[in-house]
C-alpha cells in the first residue's frame, strides 16, 4: 500500500483513509440492509401487502439506479470526500425517517427512494477518493478491502 520513500505521516494517513472508507461504506449498508429485516415484520403487522412491498422495493431500485447515473458526475464536481460524508449523513437521516414514520407508506417510500438514491453515491465517492491517497500499484488491493465492507454492515443488521 505504501510507496518507497513515503513519510511515516503519509503512511499513517493512508491507513486512516482506508479504515474510514471501509467502515464508512459498511455504514451505508447498515442503512440499506435494514429493509430486509423490517420488511417481514411490517408485513406481519399488516402495514404492507405483498403488492405494496413490491412497489416499495421497485421504487428503491429505481432510486439506486438513478443515483448510480448521477453519483459519478456529482463526485467529479464536488469531490469524493465531501460526497462520501454528506451522502452517509443523508442516508442515515432517511433511515431515521423510515423508522419514525414507517406507518405512513408515502413517507416511508419517499425516504427509501432518497436513501437508495444517495447510497449509490457512496461507491462513486470511494472511487474518487482512492486514487488521491493510494498509489496505483496498490489500488486493486484497497478496492478489494473496501468492497468487502458491505458484508460488515449487513452482518451487523442481521
89: helix, coil or strand? helix
Beta carbons within 8 Å of 126's beta carbon, 6+ residues apart:
21, 25, 80, 84, 143, 146
For position 150, what pLDDT does the model report? 67
Q: Which long-range contacts link 10-18 to residues 24+ away (Cβ below 8 Å)?
A: 13/133, 14/133, 14/134, 17/129, 17/133, 17/134, 18/134, 18/142, 18/145, 18/146
The count of other CB atoms within 10 Å of the CB of residue 120 is: 21
For position 32, what pLDDT does the model report? 74
pLDDT in single tens digits along all 158 residues of the chain: 666 666 888 778 888 888 888 888 887 777 777 777 777 777 777 777 888 888 888 999 999 999 999 999 999 999 988 999 999 999 999 988 988 877 777 888 899 999 999 999 988 888 888 877 778 887 788 878 777 776 665 566 55
C-alpha cell at 89: 449523513
156: helix, coil or strand? helix
C-alpha cell at 101: 414514520
Where do the H-state alpha helices sit in 45-148? 50-78, 80-100, 105-133, 139-147
Q: Rounded distance, CA 124 to CA 130, Å? A: 10
Q: Rounded distance, CA 158 to CA 154, Å? A: 6
For position 70, what pLDDT does the model report? 95
For position 77, what pLDDT does the model report? 93
**pTM of the predicted protein model:** 0.80
**Are 149 and 141 within 8 A, CB to CB?**
no
Amino acid at each position: 500500500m505504501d510507496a518507497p520513500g513515503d513519510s511515516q505521516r503519509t503512511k499513517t494517513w493512508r491507513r486512516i483513509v482506508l479504515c474510514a472508507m471501509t467502515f464508512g461504506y459498511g455504514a451505508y449498508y447498515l442503512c440499506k440492509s435494514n429493509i430486509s429485516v423490517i420488511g417481514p415484520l411490517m408485513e406481519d403487522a399488516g402495514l404492507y401487502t405483498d403488492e405494496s412491498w413490491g412497489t416499495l422495493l421497485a421504487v428503491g431500485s429505481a432510486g439506486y439506479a438513478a443515483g448510480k447515473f448521477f453519483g459519478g458526475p456529482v463526485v467529479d464536481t464536488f469531490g469524493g470526500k465531501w460526497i462520501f460524508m454528506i451522502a452517509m449523513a443523508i442516508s442515515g437521516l432517511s433511515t431515521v425517517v423510515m423508522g419514525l414514520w414507517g406507518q405512513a407508506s408515502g413517507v416511508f417510500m419517499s425516504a427509501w427512494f432518497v436513501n437508495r438514491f444517495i447510497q449509490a453515491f457512496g461507491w462513486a465517492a470511494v472511487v474518487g477518493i482512492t486514487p488521491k491517497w493510494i498509489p496505483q500499484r496498490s489500488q486493486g488491493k484497497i478496492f478489494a478491502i473496501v468492497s468487502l465492507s458491505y458484508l460488515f454492515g449487513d452482518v451487523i443488521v442481521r
